[in-house]
Structure 1
Amino acid sequence: MPGVWFDELSVGQLFQHPIRRTVTEMDNVLFSSLTHNPAQLHLDEEYCREHTEFGQRIVNSCFTLGLMVGISVGDTTLGTAVANLGWDEVRFPKPLFHGDTVRVETEVIELRESRSRPDQGIVTFRHRAYNQHGDLVAECKRSGLQRKRPAG
């Protein structure tokens, strides 16, 4: 099982996730279409060339958020998560473009024993996503309910 048990985590622990992902036009267009997001910023290249400071389409920020968290799962919560409790302080300081390659790091920023579930705890992660130039393109805090190592 690749995930980490709650009692194996420590505040300040940093995961440099080995998986990287180059974002494609298909990723952006399909995600935007599947989620019924018709924003020209994601779908209309000509509009973006003529009317935006970027001069090209930008990747849907909800896709960026999902990709950032998804890349982290294998090293942190795969097989040990009970539930995702929420995302806070979600930020996109720079846009992500088709062809950008994303790398992600995750820091454990808070741990708390569950008062109602003695075999579980609440972990808060800070996820950060960077493009191939080292620019921060997304970050968030994510809280989740995580299993402790089974007794035995």
Structure 2
Amino acid sequence: MPGKYYEDLEVGQRIKHTLGRTITEADNTLFCALTMNTQPLHLNEDFAATTPFGRRIVNGIFTMGLVVGLTVPELTEGTIIANLGYERVVHPKPVFHGDTIYVETEVLDKRPSKSRPECGIVRLKHIGRNQHGEIVVELERTVMFKRRPTEPTETGA
């Protein structure tokens, strides 16, 4: 699996994820439709033009989900059991249609699972930036990772 196991992660480690993703108007509109979010700031250009942003902004929950998704190939693909929680989500700058998002992850903390010895609990901080390097979202996420499988030992005469 391309994802990392619990043992592969160290507190203080930083991973600069290689994938970036440009957000389109269709992405934002579809996400709002799927989640039944009728906020005109995301959907109504006429309304949004009267706000301090001057145009529609991308739904922040979509941005958060995208940031987590961009980390999967290099971090969790096939090596996690579950996301246990999301905390301290902040959106310091808006995201607009046409912005490209890039992500960096920092390992904040880790410990073996008390209830599942084959797993470990890792707290991560994801920082999403736009194409200008401006931070558009930060969040902390607690994840249950698989521990690296142990090789069977040979027994015999």
TM-score by length of 1: 0.98
Query: Secondary structure of the equivalent of 1:69?
Result: helix
Q: 1:145 corresponds to which residue?
A: 144
Query: Secondary structure of the equivalent of 2:111?
Result: strand
Structure 1 CA distance, aligned partners of 2:73 and 2:110? 19
Query: Secondary structure of the equivalent of 1:124?
Result: strand
- How far 1:8 sits from its partner (Å)? 1.2
- How far 1:26 sits from its partner (Å)? 0.2
Query: Secondary structure of the equivalent of 1:70?
Result: helix
- How far 1:64 sits from its partner (Å)? 0.2
Structure 1 CA distance, aligned partners of 2:6 and 2:88? 23
Q: 1:29 corresponds to which residue?
A: 29
- How far 1:82 sits from its partner (Å)? 0.3
Tell me which amino acid in the other structure corresponds to 1:109.
L
Q: 1:134 corresponds to which residue?
A: 133
Structure 2 CA distance, aligned partners of 1:148 and 1:108? 16
| Structure 1 runs, 4 residues or longer, greater than 4 Å off | none
Q: 2:80 corresponds to which residue?
A: 81
Structure 1 CA distance, aligned partners of 2:110 and 2:47? 46
Query: Secondary structure of the equivalent of 2:46?
Result: helix
Structure 2 CA distance, aligned partners of 1:75 and 1:107? 13
Structure 2 CA distance, aligned partners of 1:95 and 1:83? 29
In percent, how many aligned pairs have the same letter? 50
Q: 1:16 corresponds to which residue?
A: 16
Q: 2:154 corresponds to which residue?
A: none
- How far 1:116 sits from its partner (Å)? 1.2
Gaps of 5+ in 2: 152-157
Structure 2 CA distance, aligned partners of 1:108 and 1:92? 20
Structure 1 CA distance, aligned partners of 2:149 and 2:133? 39
Higher radius of gyration, 1 or 2: 2
Tell me which amino acid in the other structure corresponds to 2:35.
T
Q: 1:4 corresponds to which residue?
A: 4
Q: What do residues 35-57 of structure 1 show as CA deviations (whole Å, max 9, x unaligned)?
A: 000000000001111x2001100
Q: 1:94 corresponds to which residue?
A: 93
Query: Secondary structure of the equivalent of 1:20?
Result: strand
